[in-house]
Amino acid sequence: MADNSILSLTDVLPLTCSRSGTCCHGKRVNINPWELFRLSEAKGINPREFRDSFCEYGGIRLKFNGESRWKGMPACSLYESGFGCSAHPGRPLVCRLYPLGRQILNEEQLYIYEGREFPCLEGCPEVLDLPRLTVAGYIEGQGAGDFEQAQDLYLEMMQNLADAAFMLLLETGLSESGDGKTLQLWRQMGSEKPEKLTERIGPMWMDRLMLPELKDCGENHETFIHRHYEMLISEAEEAFSAISGLDGFREASVLMMGLALHLGRSLGAGPEDLAEKWIAVARQNGARE
């Protein structure tokens, strides 16, 4: 927080975009499953094709493998030189808010930008000559509301997946058996590179996490995310119904935690911090390493 500037909704800033596109170069853009769906719609292809062409790590991040036209930094895979974002109507929250970021701290929503210098001035100093906007006006103009709510709903889903991991550890006899491996694996996953965690989760569960096959609810983020969660949990319950031994419960707990951590990364959270927080809670409830 010390390196960020915190804003109020009434602050007036040079937030009008000059469309130079420097913000589409050399960044890290994580996307949640509904954003992946919205981007695929904007490109006119199905989510799987979109994931395979434009994303990495099973769909949680946009590839930045375009031309390096700004400071030698590669452009987003969706950026087209001379045109801009080729999926603009479906662009994700992080792009709608840029150069602002959003943090939830003690249930309070904060808008920030990194550092003390307004970020756009480096790449697009011409914004100083454009009309200024309030933070609130900018966010509304970007149509960020549904995307902010989607982010919050997926944060709830992330916590619910972690809760399932807790349940499989604490309420199946696994923790009582003196098991220490489960928390060790939770910790290991927290510090794993995204490609490794993607591999650990495996293609079937990655598809279930990032490519839910839902019909007739696409643009409605609330319906989409609600039904996505129900589908994922029901598939997990079915897969876990045949487990009889403690090794199976450990494997299931690790899978649920892996999904929670990967989803957390797609929402911009740090998997290492999340894993440590959840390990501490499990330990308070009697689990050991």
Nearest-approach distance from CB 95 to ligand SF4, in angstroms = 3
Nearest-approach distance from CB 22 to ligand SF4, in angstroms = 10
Nearest-approach distance from CB 152 to ligand SF4, in angstroms = 20
Q: Which is nearer to ligand SF4, 39 or 256 (CB)?
A: 39
In whole angstroms, what is the distance from residue 42 CA to residue 236 CA?
Answer: 31
Nearest-approach distance from CB 119 to ligand SF4, in angstroms = 14
Nearest-approach distance from CB 259 to ligand SF4, in angstroms = 24
Q: Which is nearer to ligand SF4, 20 or 188 (CB)?
A: 20
In whole angstroms, what is the distance from residue 177 CA to residue 172 CA?
Answer: 10
Cα–Cα–Cα angle for 93, 98, 102, nearest 5°? 65
Among 15, 85, 225, 267, binds ligand SF4 (CB under 6 A): 85
Among 15, 76, 120, 161, binds ligand SF4 (CB under 6 A): 76
Nearest-approach distance from CB 217 to ligand SF4, in angstroms = 23
Is residue 205 within 8 Å of 255, Cβ to Cβ? yes
Quick one: which segment of 71-79, 141-149, 171-179, 251-259 binds ligand SF4 (CB under 6 A)? 71-79
Quick one: which segment of 6-14, 79-87, 211-219, 266-274 binds ligand SF4 (CB under 6 A)? 79-87
Binding mask 216-255 for ligand SF4 (x = CB under 6 A): ----------------------------------------
Among 15, 36, 95, 255, binds ligand SF4 (CB under 6 A): 95
Number of residues binding to ligand SF4, judged by CB under 6 A: 10
Among 79, 166, 240, 249, binds ligand SF4 (CB under 6 A): 79
Contact flag: residue 91 with ligand SF4 (CB under 6 A): yes
Identify residues 2-41 at the interface with ligand SF4 (CB under 6 A): 24, 29
Is residue 23 within 8 Å of 121, Cβ to Cβ? no
* Nearest CA-CA partner of 175 in 163, 183, 186, 164: 183
List residues binding ligand SF4 (CB under 6 A).
Answer: 24, 29, 62, 76, 78-79, 85, 87, 91, 95
